[in-house]
Amino acid sequence: MSYLLMRDPLPKLHAIELKFHSLTFEFYEEYPDFSKDFILEFIQKTGEYSKELNLSLKAYAKIDYFTNKNAKIAMKALIKFAYDLLSLLASIIRNFESDFQPKDEIDSQFRILDDFIDRKQNLISTSYRQAATQELIAFYDNNLRSSLESQLQKRLENKKSREL
């Protein structure tokens, strides 16, 4: 559980992730039945996580790629992880709120949630960092951007000539 010992540059998001980690333990203590209070707390924490993620996006936008490339990449990797986590949390909430609660599916999702949070550091330092690096290079690389713009221009011209 190295995740629990790591220091995170987004401490409020990290604190909520730790709460979700403890909620997975509570889930298995109550499983297969879980209380309305548990569900409400899960929904509330998901809302807090979404709000903190949006605030983190503002901090991310202030990081200049050209003067602090590593910080921009690291923050983007964290944000990509957070969005995937938020997507999983929303999926769990949809299952809680459905008239037919597929308990096996919720159980599976909580196992994925627990594993995902446990492996956060490894996922960010490998998959998410690599994806963030590639995305930022593609976004900020002037040569690539010029090439894409010229390809787009050619396609638009070809489309116009076919329409005439």
pLDDT in tens, the chain (164 residues): 334 444 566 889 889 999 998 999 888 887 877 788 999 999 999 999 999 999 999 999 999 999 999 999 999 999 999 999 999 999 999 988 886 766 778 889 999 999 999 999 999 999 999 999 999 998 888 888 888 888 989 998 888 888 87
88 Cβ contact partners less than 8 Å away, ≥ 6 residues apart:
109, 112, 113, 116
DSSP label at 127? I
- How high is the pLDDT of residue 116? 95
Structure tokens at 23: 């909620």
Nearest to 35 by CA among 23, 45, 46: 23
| Distances from the Cα of 124 to the Cα of 77, 79, 94, angstroms | 6, 10, 26
Domain boundaries in the chain?
A: 7-163
